Amino acid sequence: MVNTSIKTTKSQEIFAAAQNLMPGGVSSPVRAFKSVGGQPIVFDHVKGAYIWDVDGNQYIDYVGTWGPAICGHAHPDVIAALHDALEKGTSFGAPCALENVLAEMVIAAVPSMEMVRFVNSGTEACMAVLRLMRAFTKREKVIKFEGCYHGHADMFLVKAGSGVATLGLPDSPGVPKSVTSNTLTAPYNDLEAVKALFEENPGEIAGVILEPVVGNAGFITPDAGFLEGLRELTQEHGALLVFDEVMTGFRIAYGGAQEKFGITPDLTTLGKIIGGGLPVGAYGGRRDIMSMVAPAGPMYQAGTLSGNPLAMTAGIKTLELLRKPGTYEYLDKITKQLADGLLAIAKETGHEACGGQISAMFGMFFCPGPVHNYEDAKKADTNKFGRFHRGMLERGIYLAPSQFEAGFTSFAHTEADIQQTLQAARDVMASL
Ligand SMILES: *Cc1c(COP(=O)(O)O)cnc(C)c1O
């Protein structure tokens, strides 16, 4: 059921025109609302916890530009710092003192990071870290998990699905088999499967990369012992453990999931929040491994705009704001109210649902659960979620346009925003 009476005339016009100009009308696929039906709204401006579309409608936002907006959109301190930085130029392509400042902050925050390299996106960070894993171990195979996303580089575009998994067949046309044949996959939370891969490929696996808390298959948490088990297995087999904390870094805790769970990987990728809304990624970890990166070492990786002063400024200001006492306690409190509230309402209104929250990251699936991996997540009722999404949008609540994406809060969200969101959810779920 798609309500076509939704008052987004200008959004519809702009999106219709966009379809002739850009594939699917968007610059990144999930923005097109394909999995929830209906049409995307076209944003005009954002501030704090809110979005305004081109038709003047206001929404409470739980996407936060897919994670970066943890201080709320267009935080006045971030904007002011950017104005000052802008006067000094947008890109140097040369060393800049701001890189040291952000590097020091990131190294101080993230337990595994002894050195860091800045890049321009999470995708770039993951591509580089993969090359580094291979360069350091002199091995070519890597293990990733079904449903985990590490950007769109060729070698990560492999999901599992029985035969596909073992053959390493690519998910997307244009990705050669030769590139993905070294990408092995296992179900998330399945240590036995990882153990088996290590045994079947002795001395060949460079490392294991994962989202320590999954956000890209919906919100899925690591079972007790899973991260510890991966840490032990990788050590036992001389392989590296890599946490892709592009989403969880500075969100699950200031020091990311590795701080939260007390497991220190060898390498970490970051993005999203550390750019404060500008394009940034980073990878880093043990000094002996990072010393392989050019020009300190032989592993080549470079970037024209990497470490540019605007992105560094937005990142520094964002982390400064996050360091204020009480930030993460507040994020946890409001996000728990939201996640618990949604599950309680689902129960009251007779819908099977499961989900949860850690810090400022949450999710809900329309299925009885529990959800331990992507196979479980796929059992969720996507049709129902589509109707829920549409209903919430009509009531001024902007949720990620897919059940397989985590939701995000910011410290700009008030308890009143959460209550308004839950009231909308009550109305929508009662009529699903
Ligand atoms: C978003 C994301 C990426 C990719 O980052 P981009 O900046 O979109 O390239 C990689 N890994 C994880 C876990 C992500 O959430």
Alpha carbon separation from 394 to 4, 41, 54, 105, 120 (Å, rounded):
10, 11, 15, 41, 35
Specify whether 149 is catalytic. yes
- 105-157 pLDDT per residue, tens: 999 999 999 999 999 999 999 999 999 999 999 999 999 999 999 999 989 98
- Rounded-to-integer distance, Cα 278 and Cα 275, Å: 5
Q: Which of 26, 28, 148, 216 to mutate to test the pocket of ligand 1 (most atoms within 8 A of CB)?
A: 216
> Residue 172: its pLDDT value, please?
83
* 3-state helix, strand and coil shares in percent for the chain, rounded to the nearest 5: 40, 15, 40
CB 246 within 8 A of CB 406: no
Q: What is the token pair recorded at 153? A: 């580089």
Q: What is the token pair recorded at 100? A: 């040291």
Atom of ligand 1 nearest to the CA of 148: 13
Give this prediction's pTM. 0.95
Q: Which of 62, 149, 374, 398 is catalytic?
A: 149
Nearest CA-CA partner of 190 in 163, 215, 172, 165: 165
The one-letter amino acid code at 207 reads G
pLDDT above 70: residue 4: no
Q: Which of 53, 61, 190, 244 is catalytic?
A: 244
If you average pLDDT over residues 199-213, what whole number do you get?
A: 98
| Distance in Å, CA 71 to ligand 1 centroid | 19
The conformation of residue 223, written as its DSSP 8-state character, comes to P
Q: What is the token pair recorded at 298? A: 């032989």
| Distance in Å, CA 122 to ligand 1 centroid | 4
149 pocket-lining for ligand 1 (C-beta < 6 Å): yes
pLDDT above 50: residue 165: no
Q: Find tokens 């009529």 and name the residue.
A: 431
> Residue 104: its pLDDT value, please?
98
- Rounded-to-integer distance, Cα 81 and Cα 278, Å: 13
- 63-108 pLDDT per residue, tens: 999 999 999 999 999 999 999 999 999 999 999 999 999 999 999 9
- Rounded-to-integer distance, Cα 54 and Cα 41, Å: 8
The conformation of residue 43, written as its DSSP 8-state character, comes to E
